[in-house]
A and B are shown apart, each in its own frame.
Chain A
C-alpha cells in the first residue's frame, strides 16, 4: 500500500525511468514471445516429414540410343537424361567461357560425357524447357528452349540467352553399373 502511494507521489521523479524500463523490458519480452510463437505457424508451411523423406530413382540407360532423350521424375521434378552425340559433346566443350552467363565447364556437369543428366526446370520461373522430343524447338544453341519467357540452353544445359540466371541444375546421381544410374 505504502509503495503505491510513494510511486504515485514520485510519478515525475526518478521512478519514471524505472517504470519506463519495466515497460520496455516487458514489451520486449512480449514481442520476443509473440515472434517465437509465430515460428510453428510459419514452419508448418515448410515441407513436411513425408515430403522430405528422401526418395531416389533408379534408371536403366541401356535402352536410350545416341541422340535420344528421356524424362524421369525425381522428387516430383522432371529429370532430363540425354544420350549426347559426339558433335553435341564437342560443341558443349568448345563453348568459350566468356560467352557463358553462368560459366561452368561441360566436364563439370557430367560424370560420363555421353550422359547429360539434369533437372529439366528452367531456372527463370520454373517452366519445363522444350527439346526433349523430336521436333521440339531447341533454341539458338541446339539444346533446350523455354517457351515461357524465351531462355535458350546449350547442349550442356547451360543458359546462353534469355532471362534465366543459371544453368539447369545437376541432381546428385551415381552410376551403379555401366548403364544404370541412381538419382538422389
Chain B
C-alpha cells in the first residue's frame, strides 16, 4: 500500500505529527476487501450506524428524562407530548432497539452460515458475542426506564435471575436493587448504566473492527484471499453498497417509527408501574423471547438460569466445537441443512417464549431447548467429523469470473 499524498497543508501538518488521515485512508478507503460479498455482508456496518443513532437519540432523550419512580413515567409521556420532536427522538430510540437486534442477529447468523468464527477469526467472533451480551444488558436497562408495568416486572424478573446463585443469591439481588424490592435506587442505577454501556459497546466495536482488520473479512466462499486479484478497495465499492443497504434499512426502520411506533412494544407498558400487581401475561421484548423460552423450559430455578445464560455463552466456544476446516456452508452439504434447522429452532423458541407456560407449549419449549444445545454440543462436532465437503474453488477470482482468464491459469 502506498502512502497517500495530502494536498491540504493543514491535513499534511497534522498527518505528519499523528498519521490519523493515513490510517483512515488505509482502513476505510484502500482497505482490500474480497470482491465477492453478497448483501449479508451489509449488516456489520448497518449495526455500527444503528449504534450511533441510538447514542445520539439517547443523549438528547436524557436531557428531558427524570430517573425517579414518581416522575419517570410522566417525564417519558412529556417527552412524547410536549418536548419539540420528543416523539421522534423517543420512537427512533425505542424502535432503534428492535432494529439493532434484527441487524445484529442477521449479522450473527451470517457468521454462522459462512463460518466467519473459524480460525483465524476466533477472537473477532468472541468480541462479537461480548458485544451482543452488553447490548442485551443495555436494552434491558433501557426498557426499565419508562417505568411502566412491563418495565417494572421485567426489572423484577431479570434481577431475580441472580437469586438463583447458590449462597450469595439473595445478597446479590439486594445489592442490585439497593433495597428490598425494585425501587427508586434501582431505577437510578439502571439509568446510570444505560448511559454508560453504549460507550462500552462503542469501545468493543472498535476492538471488533481492529480484530477484523488484522485478518480482514471472510467472504461467501469462505476461502482465503490469495492476492490483489481477489480484492477491491473498500471505497468506493463497498461504501456505496453499504449506503444502499442503509437506505433500505432506513425505509424499514422509519416505517415503524412513523406509522407503527408501538408495534414492537407491549400495551401494558403504558400503565404506570405498580409493585403490587403483576400483569397476568408478562412477556419480554421480542429479542429476548428465545432465551425466555429456554429459561422456562427447565423446571428448576438454577438450571433454567444456567441454561439461559449458557445459550448465548455457548457461542464463545463455537470456534472449537466446529472442527471442519471449510468455512462456508456452500461447500458443507450437511452443515447447511442443520444450519437452517437451527434457524427454525430459534424461531420456535421465540414463538414459545411469547406463549403462556402451560400445556403443549411446555413440551414444545423443552424439545426446542434440547435441540438448541444438541446442535452446538453434539451435531456440530459430529458433522465436522463425518461430512465430506464439496471441492473448494481455486480462488475467489476463479469462482467469481467464471470462464475468465484466471480459470485457464488454474487448470
Contact = CB atoms under 8 A, between A and B. Distances in A.
Contacts of B410: none
Interface string B163-205: 1000000000011111111010100010000000000000000
A76 B278 contact: no
B407 interface: no
Contact of B296 (A126, A130, A163, A164): A163
Contacts of B276: 71, 73, 78, 128
A19 interface: no
* Most chain A beta-carbon neighbours within 10 Å: one of B178, B276, B296: B276
Interface string B144-162: 0000000001001101110
Nearest to B297: A163
A128 B278 contact: yes
Given A76-B183, A163-B296, A45 B301 contact: no
Interface residues of A, number: 27
B9 interface: no
A99 B179 CA distance: 34
Given A73-B276, A148-B278, A47 B157 contact: no
A125 B296 contact: no
Contacts of A42: 175
Nearest to B305: A125
B157 A126 contact: yes
B94 to A, nearest CB: 24
A163 B281 contact: no
A148 B181 contact: no
Nearest to B276: A78
A127 interface: yes
Contacts of B275: 76, 78
Interface string B290-306: 00000110111110100
B357 A76 contact: no
A125 B174 contact: no
Contact of B178 (A45, A127, A163): A45
Interface in B284-332: 295-296, 298-302, 304
B294 to A, nearest CB: 12
A169 to B, nearest CB: 10
A126 to B, nearest CB: 4
Contacts of B153: 127, 148
B175 A45 contact: yes
B299 A162 contact: yes
B178 A46 contact: yes
A103 B160 CA distance: 23
A182 interface: no
Nearest to B298: A163
Contact of A127 (B156, B183, B304, B362): B156
A78 B180 CA distance: 11
Interface in A137-165: 146-150, 162-165
Contacts of A127: 153, 156-157, 278, 282
Considering the complex of A and B, which 4 residue pairs feature the smallest CB-CB distances, nearest first? A126-B160, A125-B160, A150-B357, A76-B181
Given A46-B178, A148-B157, A149-B296, 4 more contacts: A47-B174, A51-B178, A76-B180, A126-B156
Interface of A: 42, 45-48, 51, 71, 73, 75-78, 124-128, 130, 146-150, 162-165
Interface of B: 153, 156-157, 159-161, 163, 174-181, 183, 185, 189, 275-278, 280-282, 295-296, 298-302, 304, 356-358, 362
